[in-house]
Amino acid sequence: MLDLPSSAVYGAPLLVLACLIVIGQYRRYSHPLPPGPRGIPFIGNILDLPKDYEWIHWAKHRGLYGPISSVSILGQPVIFLNSLDVCNDLLEKRSSIYSGRPVLPFAGEMIGWNREMILAPYGSRFRALRKLVARQIGSKAAIAAPFVRETQEYETRHFLARVCANPEDMFRDIRLMTAAIFMRISHGYTVSKNSHRPDPLLALLDTAAHEFYLATLPGTWTVDAFPILRHLPAWFPGASFKQTAACFRRTVLASAQKPIEFVKEELREKRALPSFASAGLEDPQVDEDVVVYAAASLFGGGTDTVVATQMTFVLAMILYPDVQKRAQAELDAVLGNEEGTRRLPTFKDRESLLYLEAVYKEVLRWHVIGPMGIPHTSTEDDWYNGYFIPKGSLVFSNIWAISQDTAYYKDPTSFNPDRFMPDTSALDPHVFAFGFGRRKCPGVDMAGANLFIFMALTLSVLEFGPGDGGMPEAEFVSGTVSHPKPFAYSVRPRSKEALSTVKAVHAELPLKESDADKVQSVSTP
């Protein structure tokens, strides 16, 4: 994988040119913007930007300026929404105005991430992508399809067997399990589980995800602030970002096209498994390019967020052992715990597992893994409570601030599933955890099903505890997707009966042959 590229360091001629452009970009507005800290002429509030944990930094604005605030960065208005009411008023009720995405010349136009849903401008293409995803995996009925649920249960059960055999590799196996589920559902592709021979397609997609992270790091690429710089010749001092963009673009193209070429070959040979991509390719009313990038968005947008949530769940079970024991007691009561009668949970048990459902919701709320979401942009001028929001403003919803709002949650820093039991009225985190408006993730139900069956199966078989260093801290990394920081753990089968159940089920499950060798014969763009 790539480290931060040297092209992020700019030459003097490029900086001189950028400084000249700042003066041309600087704007003043005659109408009052939402309140915020006073900026410096021309550069605005650029010195006020936090280096990390921006959701905590901007949440402080609510006490200082109210639920909506703003800053200006080189003349660019940036609006922060720090309450659920304001998020609903703007992003939900006025979604036709606030469904845009920021134009990122480097990641979007130069590399090509604007072809996928995450950075696609709001318009006909975005609507076509979202419509296809919503139709195939965007409802409880759609994700109840046998190939979806069977894949989720199958891969999670094999994960249990791998963890019981090699507990030290649990974090690696969580990611491998989740990637295998998404790639099977998106493209009908079976990932290689051979630790000595990494799966080539999974490696390609991981590289694309890492490069997306680098390409979208705020403040890294001067061309994002000054789009005119993209027209500089590659030989111009400081313009090596163009070479980096070309390299990243090849990865994006390959990560979208290579899986589709695999699906096409499987269809030609009449051996394709049911999948999102195969269904789309066989539908004459759907444009192939939409299928290509919708399928890519399904894997790219789902895997990392689900893995981060699964890791958060494991951390919570270690920090709150009483919650873990209570959830296991409920599973035992539903599944049976007597030797010879014990079985593993399935989706059919979900309605009976009320406490585990509450644990699932508390995992979503306790630490939202997308604390600031992906920014929206306003597509026209707007007014809200006397404040002017100019066209082209960046609009951030502070999802973390909502999850910690004491108006909705008593003692919000604690992990307390009881707040979501049926006889309570706490705000359901689904209202905010997956975003707002027309940009809300259409795969909420599938992501939730992945997490729930993971929780049910792991807690029915495994017991999580602290590692040799003692109880870990509830610490998380900064970023668009906020994973738990690495932590030591112990994991073991709950009992001999639990281990026997895993071994028996694992022996009955046929190991699917990997498709890795088939992919290597597909040409890369």
| Residue type present at position 463 | E
Q: What is the β-pairing status of strands 76-81 and 394-397?
A: parallel
Highest mean pLDDT among 14-28, 218-232, 276-290, 348-362: 348-362
Distance CA 28, CA 362 (A): 44
Reported as a pLDDT band with limits 50, 70 and 90, residue 339 is low
Between 522 and 436, the higher pLDDT residue: 436
Residue range 374-379: mean pLDDT, rounded: 92
Residue 509: per-residue pLDDT: 63
pLDDT at 471 over 80: yes
Residue 507: per-residue pLDDT: 67
The 10s digit of each residue's pLDDT in 283-307 is 999 899 999 999 888 777 678 889 9
How many residues are there in the chain?
A: 525
Residue-averaged pLDDT of the chain: 86
Residue 456: per-residue pLDDT: 97
pLDDT at 231 over 70: yes
Q: Are 44 and 73 in contact (CB under 8 A)?
A: yes
The 10s digit of each residue's pLDDT in 397-425 is 999 999 999 999 999 999 999 999 998 88
pLDDT at 3 over 70: no
pLDDT at 26 over 60: no
Q: Are 48 and 74 in contact (CB under 8 A)?
A: no
Residue range 75-83: mean pLDDT, rounded: 94
pLDDT at 41 over 70: yes
Least confident of 107-121, 257-271, 329-343: 329-343
Residue 57: per-residue pLDDT: 95
Q: Are 472 and 319 in contact (CB under 8 A)?
A: yes
Residue 27: per-residue pLDDT: 57
Residue 216: per-residue pLDDT: 83
Least confident of 314-328, 350-364, 445-459: 445-459
CA dist 255 → 73, 108, 207, 268 (Å): 34, 15, 9, 21
CA atoms within 13 A on the CB side of 335: 27
For residue 43, give every residue at least 6 positions away whose Cβ sits within 8 Å of its Cβ, in sequence order, or none: 22, 73, 74
Place of tokens 């304001």: 86
Between 215 and 523, the higher pLDDT residue: 215
Residue 10: per-residue pLDDT: 39
Residue range 29-50: mean pLDDT, rounded: 87
CA angle 285, 379, 32 (to 5 degrees): 165
Strands (E) in 43-115, as ranges, are 68-73, 76-81
Task: DSSP letter for 36, please.
Answer: -
pLDDT at 17 over 80: no
Distance CA 466, CA 491 (A): 9
What is the SS3 assignment for 311? helix
Angle between helices 354-366 and 321-335 (to 10 degrees): 150
Judged by phi (left if over 0) then psi (alpha if -120 to 50, else beta), residue 99 lies in alpha
Between 145 and 314, the higher pLDDT residue: 314
Provide the H-helix boundaries in 10-145.
Answer: 12-25, 54-65, 84-87, 124-137, 140-143
Residue 301: per-residue pLDDT: 67
Residue 338: per-residue pLDDT: 67
pLDDT at 341 over 90: no
Reported as a pLDDT band with limits 50, 70 and 90, residue 118 is confident
| Residue type present at position 186 | S
Distance CA 321, CA 465 (A): 8
Residue range 113-134: mean pLDDT, rounded: 88
Residue 368: per-residue pLDDT: 95
Q: Are 319 and 474 in contact (CB under 8 A)?
A: yes
Residue 2: per-residue pLDDT: 42
Which of 1.25.40.10, 1.10.630.10, 1.10.1380.10, 1.20.120.140 is the CATH number of 6-519? Answer: 1.10.630.10
Distance CA 467, CA 171 (A): 14
Residue range 153-180: mean pLDDT, rounded: 91
Reported as a pLDDT band with limits 50, 70 and 90, residue 510 is low
pLDDT at 164 over 50: yes
Place of tokens 């090596």: 240
Judged by phi (left if over 0) then psi (alpha if -120 to 50, else beta), residue 166 lies in beta
Q: What percent of the chain has pLDDT over 70?
A: 90
Reported as a pLDDT band with limits 50, 70 and 90, residue 201 is confident
Residue range 332-344: mean pLDDT, rounded: 79
Residue 210: per-residue pLDDT: 84
Reported as a pLDDT band with limits 50, 70 and 90, residue 142 is confident
Distance CA 232, CA 347 (A): 55
Least confident of 47-56, 79-88, 192-201: 192-201
